[in-house]
Chains A and B, each alone.
Chain A
Amino acid sequence: MSRAKRIMKELLAVKDDPAANIKLEFVNESDIEHLKGSFQGPPGTPYEGGIFLVDIEVPMEYPFKPPKMKFDTKVYHPNISSVTGAICLDILKNAWSPVITLKSALISLQALLQSPEPNDPQDAEVAQHYLRDRESFNKTAALWTKLYAVANGSTVGQKQVDEAQLYGIDPNVVEEFESQGFEKEKVIDALRRLGIKSLDPTDNATVNKIVEELLK
C-alpha cells in the first residue's frame, strides 16, 4: 500500500532533518492514520518559545487528499480557532497538492503563525483583536503561548490566570462593571461578544452598549 510506504518515508525524512525542529510520530504504532506533529513557535513572534502540538489524521486517499490537521495546543491566532484548534489554511483545503508532505504542511503552519491572514479569519473575535489593537493582541498571544505551548503538557493550565487577561481584556474595565454588581464571568463574556478589550470611561455610548449586552 503506497499510503503506508509514503507515511513511513515522511517520518524518516522528519527524523533525518533535526535542524527543522519538527517532530512527527504515531499516536499508536498500529494506526497509521493518526499522528501527532509538533514544531517550535517562530522566533520574533508572540509564539516564540512555545511548542505547538498538531493532531494529524491521514485520510484513505492520502496523498491525493490533504491530511486533516488541527492544533492540540491552544493558540491565539486569527486563522486558528481559539476553541477547537481548527485551522484555516488553503494548502490544507483546495490548494493541496500531492507533493506536499506532512513535514512541509507543518512548516506551513509555522509560517502561518508568523504571518496571520486576518482577512480570512477562522476566529473572528481574535481576528478583530488583531486588526484593532496589534499590541494588545501580541500580549495576549504571548500569554497563551506561555500558558499553553509549554514543552511538558503536565503544567498546562495549572497556573491560575485571570480570565480577563486571557482574552486580552483590560482588567480595569471588568472591575468597573463588577463594581456595578455584574458577575465577572458575564462581564467577560459580554466584552468578548462585543470585541471590546479596553474602554475609555468617558465613552458613554460604548458603556451603554456593554450595559445593554449585560442586561440581555
Chain B
Amino acid sequence: MSEVESDSYLSLVYEDELYDNESMELYESQTTAVHCTDEIPCHKFESLQSYESEFDIEDLQFDEEDESEDEPLREQSTHTLDKPSLDGSNLPNLRYESLTTDDIFQRMLQRVDHLQPVLSIPAEDILLLMQRFDWSEERLLEDWTEKADELLIGSGLKRVHEADKEGENGLVRGIKHRESFTCPICCEDKTETFVMECGHEYCTDCYKHYIKDLLNQGNIITCMGCSLALKNEDIDLIMGSASSHKLMDSSIRSFVTKHNRNYKWCPYADCKCIIHLFDASSLEEYTRLHCSKFVTCKSNHSFCFTCGYEMHAPADCSVVSAWVKKAKKESENLNWVLAHTKECPKCSVNIEKNGGCNHMVCSSCKYEFCWICGGEWAPHGNSYYQCTVYKSDDDKGKSDKDDLRKTLKRYTFYYRVFNEHEVSAKLDWKLGQNIGHKVRALQESVGVSWIEGQFLPESLKILNEGRTALKWSFAVAFYSDPSHNLTKIFADNQLLLSNAVEDLSQLRQIQDPETIMQRKTEFYNKAGYVENRTHALMECGRDLLRKGICKTKD
C-alpha cells in the first residue's frame, strides 16, 4: 500500500467523524487539548529510546521532553496529524526514572551517610538500624534520643554486659584458624571458625549453612548463640563472596514497600527494576482527568504507575479494575474461558491460531475467514472491518429477561474481542522475540545497515501498542452508553485502528528479507498510520471517560 492510500484512509476518518457535527466540535476541541499532554509523546519517546539504550541508557532515560530528531519513523508518524505541543496545559509533567536495585541501594547508603554525623556510629551499624526501622529515620532518631543503649543492645549492636570490654577477654570478631576445635553445631572437628565478641564460636561451614538459609528472609542475622548481630562485612567474610547484597535485596524490598507512593516495582515477572516518580502528588490530577501515568522500566516493560497493569489506554484505571474484576467473575460463573482453537466455519477442522493476523486460511479446505467473527474474509478485505462493532438487536418489545440476556450477550461480545486481541498481542510479542534474527537476516542477505533495519522492531512496537490500545478500548466500549454519538465515533475509531492493525500485522507475516526491504516504505506508512489511529482512539476514549459517557458504576 502506498502513502497516498494511507492518507486516503485518514481523510476517510475525518469525513466519517463529521457526520455528527455537534459532538464533533466538542471532540475536536478536546482533541487538541489532549495533544498537549506530555504523556503520549513522552511515551513515544521511550519506545524509541529503548532501542537506542543499547548504546547509552544513562543519558537518555530521564529526558522525556527531548524530541528525538533522527527517527525516520517518527517524522512519518507525525506528518499527518498536528504535531503535539508540549506545553502541558492539561496534565502535569510527571518525571520519573527507572532504577535498579543497585541504584536504590546507593540511595540507601546516602541516607545512612546523612545520619552518620548525628549518630556517630559506624555506617554499617546505621544500615542495620535502618533495616530494623524499615527505613524510617524519624522513628530511629526518636528511639535513639530516648534510649540509645537499649536500642543498640536490642539490635544486637552492643553486648548486654558492658563490663567485659573488648580485648579484656581477648575476643576479636573474625575468622580464626584453630588446630583442634569441635564445633558444637555439627560436632565435627574443624580448623576454621568464626568467633564474635560474645565468645560464641562455631565453624565457618555451619555459619555458611546458617547464613544461607537466612539471607532470603531479610532479617538481621545474629550470632547463632545470642542476639549479637552479624554485619554485612562479617557475612561476606564468612561466605567468602559478596553475599550480603542478597540480604540487602530484601531490605530494598522493604524500602520500596515503605515508599510505595513514589517507588514501584516493575510488575513484570523476574524484572528487578524500580520506577521512581519524582512528584507523586500530581498523580491525582491524572486520575481526575481519567489519564494514567504509563512508565517504562529499564528492561523496556511498560506499565501503569497507578494500578501496575499493562498500558491500558484508552481505558483508565477504574475501567480496568472493573473490567478485570468482571472478567474474573464472569469466567468463574459462566465459564467464559475461551478455547484457543476454533473450528473452520466450512470444514470444521480445528484450527489453532499461531500468528497475530486475524485473516485465517484453513489449511485443509483453503477457506479464508476472519478469526473474530468466523465470517468469510473477502468482505473484510480492504474495506471496513465489521467485526469490532457490536450490532445491537433493535427488536422491540422484549421482556426484562431478554434484557438480561442481551447484557450478557453484549458482554460476551466485548469480552471475546478483548480476548482475541490479547491473544493476538501475545502472538505478536512472540514474533517480536526473534525480531533480532530477522534484522540480522536483513543485514546478511540484503546488506542493509543495522540502523536501517530498525524499522522492523519499530513497527512491531507500534503494532503492539496499537493492539493493546485496541484491546482496552473494548473495555471502554462495554462501559459506554451505546446510544451516545461519541460512543459511535469511538466505535468508528476502533474500526479504523483495527483495520490498520490488521494491515500492519499482515505485513509482518512476510518472511523473505528481500521482499521486506522492497516494502520498507509500506512498513513505515502502515506503522505511522497505526500510531496515528492509536492516539486518536486514546483521545476519543478519554473524552468518553471525561464526559461520563463511559461509567463503570451504574
Contact = CB atoms under 8 A, between A and B. Distances in A.
Interface of A: 2, 5-6, 8-9, 61, 63-65, 97-99
Interface of B: prevailing SS: loop
Q: Sort A-B residue pairs by CB-CB distance and give the 5 closest, nearest first.
A: A2-B186, A5-B187, A6-B187, A98-B185, A9-B187
B223 to A, nearest CB: 9
B185 A63 contact: yes
B187 A98 contact: no
Nearest to A6: B187
A99 B187 contact: no
B150 interface: no
A201 B41 CA distance: 79
Interface in B213-228: 213, 224-225
B206 interface: yes
Interface of B: 184-188, 200, 202, 206, 209-210, 213, 224-225
Contacts of B186: 2, 5-6, 63
A24 to B, nearest CB: 16
Most buried by B among A9, A63, A65: A63
Given A99-B224, A99-B225, A2 B210 contact: no
Nearest to B200: A99
11 contacts: A2-B187, A2-B188, A5-B186, A8-B187, A61-B213, A64-B206, A64-B213, A97-B225, A98-B210, A99-B224, A99-B225
A2 B189 CA distance: 10
Contacts of A63: 185-186
Secondary structure call for the A interface: loop
Given A5-B188, A63-B185, A97-B225, 6 more contacts: A6-B187, A97-B224, A98-B224, A99-B184, A99-B200, A99-B224
Nearest to B219: A94
Given A99-B224, A99-B225, A64 B187 contact: no
A97 B187 CA distance: 15
Contacts of A5: 186-188
A65 B213 CA distance: 9
A211 to B, nearest CB: 39
B107 to A, nearest CB: 30
A65 B224 CA distance: 13
Contact of B210 (A6, A8, A9, A64): A64
B101 to A, nearest CB: 25
A178 to B, nearest CB: 47
A6 B225 CA distance: 17
A166 to B, nearest CB: 42
Nearest to B207: A98
Contacts of A8: 187
Contact of A6 (B185, B202, B224): B185
A146 B213 CA distance: 42
Nearest to A65: B213
A97 B228 CA distance: 13
A61 to B, nearest CB: 8
A98 B209 CA distance: 10
Contacts of A6: 185-187
Contacts of A64: 206, 209-210, 213
Contacts of B202: 98
Contacts of A61: 213
Contacts of B185: 2, 6, 63, 98-99
A5 B213 CA distance: 21
Nearest to A7: B187
Contacts of B224: 97-99
A185 B41 CA distance: 75
A128 to B, nearest CB: 33
